Every structure is written in C-alpha cells, then in structure tokens.
C-alpha cells in the first residue's frame, strides 16, 4: 500500500457532497440545545453516538426522521444555522478541504418561523464568514426532501431561483425508495436554462435504482448524480454519463454505514476511473457517522491499492464537476497538480 494516512491527510481535497445536518459535531449539538433550552433525548456524546447508531440499525427512514431529526431540532433559528454552517466549513478546513459544497434542506428549518429564503440566507452567511476566516472556497446546495409534496418541491425550487446569490444548485434528497425523481419533475423544470445547477440523489436505495438514475438524467436533467451505487454494472448508463459529462458523487463510507454496500470495492471505482467516468469521492455525513473525508479516501485508496495518480484524478474530477466558476476551478487545479506528486 503506497499511500499512508498521513499523506492523504496532508493533501488538499475537494468535497462536493456533505449535508449540513450530517456535519454537526456532538459538542455543538449540545451547545446549541443548551442555548435554546431544547431538551434532547440524550445528554452526552457517548449516548448521542449510540442513539445515531441505533437509528441507523433501524433503517434509513429512522435515521432520517429521528437521527437527522434530532440534529435539526437545534437548527431552527437563523443564528443556529449560521453557526452550524460556519462550523461545518471549519470542519472542512481541518480536513484540508480547499473547496467544499455544503447542502441542506431549507424546509427542515422553518419550525420557529424562518422562511425558506431566510434559511438559505443564514446558512450561506455562516459559510461566507468561515470562508473569510479559513481561506477556503465554498458553495451551498439546497435540497428538496423528496418525501414532501411536489408543490412544496416547487416552492423550494422557486426560492432557490430567487436566492441565486446564496445558493448555486438544487438537490433531491431523503427516501428514494418511495419517492421516485419524477415526483419533483416540475420543480426541476423551473431551473432548466438558468444558472442553477442540478444534482439528484439517485441509485442509493430502493428497488428502482437503475430507473431512478435514468430519470434523474433524462427527466430532471441532472448535472450530477449523488451515490449511483451500482452504476458500474450498467454499460448504457456509463456511456450516457460519460457522453453528457454527468458527475457521479460517490460517498462510499456513508453507503457502508447505511448497509447499502459491504466494502468500497462494491462501487468499482477504478473501473469507473478507467472508463473515464467523472467520479468523485465524498463524505456525505461525516460528523453523524464519525469519520472524515480523509478516512473515506484512505479506505478507498487502501481497498483499491490506489497510487497517487488515481487519487489526483479523483480530485481533478471533483473540480470539473464542481458548481463553481472557471477561475476558481483553474486555481484549484493548480493546487492539486502542484501537490499530488
Ligand atoms: Zn447525501
């Protein structure tokens, strides 16, 4: 094995898929709860981690409703959202991430009266403050919870269109098994031929993963697909994403924790690299699952016995896929090329 953990830790990295509510460390959860007089079902870090693992064991929907639900109870004010977004960018900085995209679902932060627009604004302001303090570049993606109605999805898409200074893309997240992408077709259509980019969680769970990936591409015009766990098994899909330059945001450790795969090897990452698929490696929910992007890349490098060249390719892919401008991409490319030797 050529690449040590230390080397991977020290290298600059790109993160394209990280959920804000999956990146709040326990200390901050308790701090925010205390400040807002919110009673949580647990009162220490050990029990909190046990609670999250229990929810994970119960299944994906328990994890979403109760696991992420717990985190979101403390993220219902502008100040809390700002602070959490700031801290998430600090987490990225600590992992040597030089460009990071953070995503969140505005509809999950309105219990105390925040509008979708305010939620987006506050999260972005926290990130902007952290950008200044930590010298890293970031962008915010806004998710529709696919469990919500198509009408609500459209409202989120409209808000995103009205908030282009603060958020760059639309995502579709949560329970794929019972909510196929076409449910939110109208919401996605609102963003066609605009500057708003599109990513879709598809091919993560449920019985229609292949069809959902196809729909994400053909009907929702996805610029990127999140997860696409089994894409390497479908030659036609490989050809389509390569031809259309559709990026694949993989999050191997998240898939392992959620029991969708057993090992990173199940994703056939080297096959995808060889086939010139734009694939990148991401963390998804690092604080909730207690790992970092570095842990994820290290596991992938180890499982596939990757050389530095392949790791560099994954970073260059992420830059090409990133929802940012060419000037920033050029700068990022230079940093990666200068350091991955
Ligand atoms: Zn995700």
pLDDT band at 1 (very low <50, low <70, confident <90, very high): low
We report the CATH number of the domain holding residue 238 as 3.20.20.140
Task: Look up the domain containing 130 and give its range.
Answer: 5-339
Rounded average pLDDT over 209-224:
98
What pLDDT score was predicted for residue 157? Answer: 98
pLDDT band at 29 (very low <50, low <70, confident <90, very high): very high
* Cα separation of the two ends of the chain: 16
User: What confidence tens digit (pLDDT) does each residue in 269-291 have?
Assistant: 999 999 999 999 999 999 998 99
**Active-site hit among 87, 154, 204, 249:** 204
CA-closest candidate to residue 188, choices 169, 167, 204:
169
Q: Is the dihedral of CA 147, 292, 245, 269 positive or negative?
A: negative
Per the model's pLDDT, the better-predicted residue between 186 and 49 turns out to be: 186
Sheet holding 247-250, edge to edge: 13-19, 97-104, 137-145, 169-173, 197-202, 224-227, 247-250, 279-281
Rounded average pLDDT over 51-75:
92
Q: Are 164 and 196 in contact (CB under 8 A)?
A: yes
What angle do helix axes 26-35 and 45-58 make, rounded to 10 degrees? 110
User: What confidence tens digit (pLDDT) does each residue in 162-212 have?
Assistant: 999 999 999 999 999 999 999 999 999 999 999 999 999 999 999 999 999
Is 151 a catalytic site residue? no
Question: Is the pLDDT at 97 greater than 70, yes or no?
Answer: yes
What pLDDT score was predicted for residue 56? Answer: 87
What pLDDT score was predicted for residue 68? Answer: 94
Rounded average pLDDT over 63-81:
95
147 Cα to the center of ligand 1, angstroms? 14
pLDDT band at 110 (very low <50, low <70, confident <90, very high): very high
51 Cα to the center of ligand 1, angstroms? 20
CA-closest candidate to residue 35, choices 6, 66, 75:
75
205 Cα to the center of ligand 1, angstroms? 12
CA angle, residues 219, 243, 193, in degrees to nearest 5: 45
Query: How much is the mean pLDDT over the chain?
Result: 96
341 Cα to the center of ligand 1, angstroms? 31
CA-closest candidate to residue 251, choices 313, 314, 189, 312:
314
Q: Are 136 and 170 in contact (CB under 8 A)?
A: no
Q: Are 161 and 192 in contact (CB under 8 A)?
A: no
What secondary structure letter does DSSP report for 14? E
338 Cα to the center of ligand 1, angstroms? 30
* Coil, strand or helix at 173: strand
Rounded average pLDDT over 122-151:
98
User: What confidence tens digit (pLDDT) does each residue in 306-316 have?
Assistant: 999 999 999 99
236 Cα to the center of ligand 1, angstroms? 24
Rounded average pLDDT over 225-246:
97
260/60 Cα distance (integer angstroms): 10
Domain count, the chain: 1
Q: CB under 8 Å to 23, separation ≥6 — which residues? A: 88, 91, 102, 285, 286, 287, 288
266 Cα to the center of ligand 1, angstroms? 18
227 Cα to the center of ligand 1, angstroms? 8
Two structure tokens written together for 299 = 């596991």
């Amino acid at each position: 094995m050529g690449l040590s953990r230390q080397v991977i830790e020290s290298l600059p990295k790109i993160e394209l898929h990280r959920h804000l509510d999956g990146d709040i460390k326990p200390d901050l959860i308790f701090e925010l709860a205390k400040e807002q007089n919110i009673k949580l079902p647990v009162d220490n870090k050990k029990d909190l981690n046990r609670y999250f693992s229990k929810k994970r064991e119960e299944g994906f929907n328990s994890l979403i409703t109760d696991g992420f639900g717990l985190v979101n109870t403390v993220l219902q004010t502008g100040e809390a959202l700002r602070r959490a977004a700031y801290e998430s960018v600090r987490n990225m900085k600590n992992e040597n991430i030089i460009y990071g995209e953070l995503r969140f679902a505005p509809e999950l932060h309105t219990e105390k009266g925040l509008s979708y627009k305010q939620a987006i604004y506050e999260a972005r302001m926290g990130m902007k403050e952290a950008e200044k303090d930590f010298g890293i570049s970031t962008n915010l993606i806004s998710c529709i919870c696919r469990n919500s109605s198509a009408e609500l999805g459209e409202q989120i898409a409209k808000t995103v269109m009205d908030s282009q200074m603060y958020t760059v893309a639309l995502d579709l997240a949560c329970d794929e098994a019972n909510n196929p992408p076409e449910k939110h077709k109208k919401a996605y259509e609102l963003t066609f031929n605009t500057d708003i980019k599109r990513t879709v969680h598809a091919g993560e769970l449920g019985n229609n993963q292949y069809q959902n990936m196809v729909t994400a591409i053909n009907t929702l015009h996805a610029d990127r697909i999140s997860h696409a766990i089994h894409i390497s098994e479908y030659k036609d899909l490989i050809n389509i994403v390569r031809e259309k330059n559709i990026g694949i945001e993989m999050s191997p450790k998240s898939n392992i924790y959620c029991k969708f795969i057993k090992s990173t090897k199940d994703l056939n990452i080297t096959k995808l690299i060889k086939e010139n698929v734009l694939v990148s490696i991401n963390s998804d929910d690092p604080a909730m699952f207690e790992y970092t992007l570095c842990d994820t890349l290290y596991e992938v490098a180890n499982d596939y016995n990757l050389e530095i060249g392949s790791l560099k390719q994954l970073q260059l892919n992420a830059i090409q896929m990133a929802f940012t401008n060419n000037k920033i991409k050029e700068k990022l490319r230079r940093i990666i090329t200068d350091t991955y030797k």
